[in-house]
Amino acid sequence: MDAILVVNAGSSSVKFRVFKVENPQTLRQLVSGQVDGIGVRPTLKASGADDRKLVDRSYEAKDIPDVATAMRTAGAWLRSEQNLDFVAIGHRVVHGGPHYDRPVLVDEKVVADLERYVPLAPLHQPNNLAPIRVLLERFPDMPQVACFDTAFHRGHSEVAERYAIPDAFYAEGVRRYGFHGLSYEYVAQRLRELMPERSAWRTIVAHLGSGASMCAIADGRSIESTMGFTALDGLPMGTRPGQIDPGVVLYLLSEKGMSAAKVQDFLYKECGLKGLSGVSNDVRELLESGEPRAAVALDYFVYRIGLYAGYLAASLGGLDSFVFTAGIGERSAAMRTRIVEKLAWLGAELDPDANGNSSFRISRVDSRLAVYVVPTNEELMIAKHTVATLSGASWVDTAAKRTA
């Protein structure tokens, strides 16, 4: 069966989904899976469209030491045991830099261009590109599409995009990009589908997970984001600090004698909720912990979300709705309760029962600020972009006919 493969590769896992092309506008998910524990305790897990378990297989650490090998392992299983042949592959790529403002068909030149942004997203970009290189080498004729987390934000005004530094740096790409764009784009589309009469609402979407950010959206377009040049900025995250005075970085370099590489490692891996709490980077564990520093970390997280809500509301000139998405936003009623309390000045009033059930609308019907929970689906967004990018080619209609 022909299908589209979507790949979302991280530092210790490769997530994948497979979609059947019903027609150029309709995609049906066939398989969802991942290889995690790469290099430590690798496992391949996947389920079908009906959530039936298809595989749960463990490997020795030496058998899957890196992302590239994980991609080969998952691909071999999909082809040999699921009888899937792919007509195209879509990839999440975190940073598109100043030039890639939409999904693009990948070749060696594109990969070389994207490697320049590895220093701007060291946790993500190398791992995003690793499967692309593997597949270019093994299947050079296979269409691959790179979909960028930065692209959704590229319509920001110049004043929103700039830093107050000399113009030469802006010209070479030192600017505020924003991230989690595939998630925000999906949520914006879902809101338009679910509430077409309110598609022009001024909305803040909070993508709250191990990586966390918020985005101001008006009429389905990104207006402002909490993240900037890199994915370090804005909200505190699992292991990243969020907004920090640049003077702190200078202090680490000049007074603590840390190298640039050590500072980078520190900011990406040792800060955020992990650094504040000294306990964990996982909100679930912090909520269960009795350690005072765990409570401080959660208080700080909620406080900063409240601050940035005001910042983003100002960029929109007012606020009509607030949307939770991603792991914490979709699953933690306790954290939603605490955050909505910080939004009371904007008119938010929570419906406790709806919140406890993770309903679509979790605010009271008479709440001046409407509050929603919308599960994100970055992989479906990537699949749609893959079809759209290649829609002029004959393979789309041919694939739809073959898989009908």
Question: Considering 63, 66, 101, 149, which one is annotated as catalytic?
Answer: 149
DSSP per-residue letters across 78-97: HHHTT--EEEEEEEEES--T
Mode of pairing for the β-strands spanning 2-9 and 85-93: parallel
- Cα-trace Rg, the chain: 21
Q: What pLDDT is attached to residue 339?
A: 98
Q: What pLDDT is attached to residue 394?
A: 39
Q: What pLDDT is attached to residue 337?
A: 98
With CA atoms as reference, report the closest residue to 132 among 176, 88, 168: 88
pLDDT digits (tens, 9 = 90+) for 72-120: 899 889 888 988 888 899 999 999 998 899 999 999 999 999 999 998 8
Numbers of helices and strands, H then E, in the chain: 16, 13
What is the distance between the alpha carbons of residues 354 and 140, in angstroms, rounded to a whole number? 50
Q: CB-side exposure of 129: number of CA atoms within 13 Å?
A: 20
Say whether 205 sits in a helix, a strand or coil: strand
Q: Residues of the chain whose pLDDT is less than 50?
A: 393-404
Q: What pLDDT is attached to residue 49?
A: 84
Q: What pLDDT is attached to residue 363?
A: 97
Question: Diameter of the chain by CA atoms?
Answer: 65
Residues near 221 by beta carbon (within 8 Å), at least 6 away in sequence: 155, 188
Mode of pairing for the β-strands spanning 144-148 and 85-93: parallel
User: What are φ and ψ of residue 88, in 5° steps?
Assistant: -165, 160
Kindly provide the b/e burial profile for residues 86-124, where b requires at least 16 CB atoms within 10 angstroms of the residue's own CB: bbbbbbbbbbbbbebeebbebeeebbebbeebeebbbbb
Q: What pLDDT is attached to residue 398?
A: 40
Q: What pLDDT is attached to residue 264?
A: 93
Active site residue 149: yes
What is the distance between the alpha carbons of residues 93 and 8, in angstroms, rounded to a whole number? 8
pLDDT digits (tens, 9 = 90+) for 359-395: 999 999 999 999 999 999 999 999 999 999 988 543 3
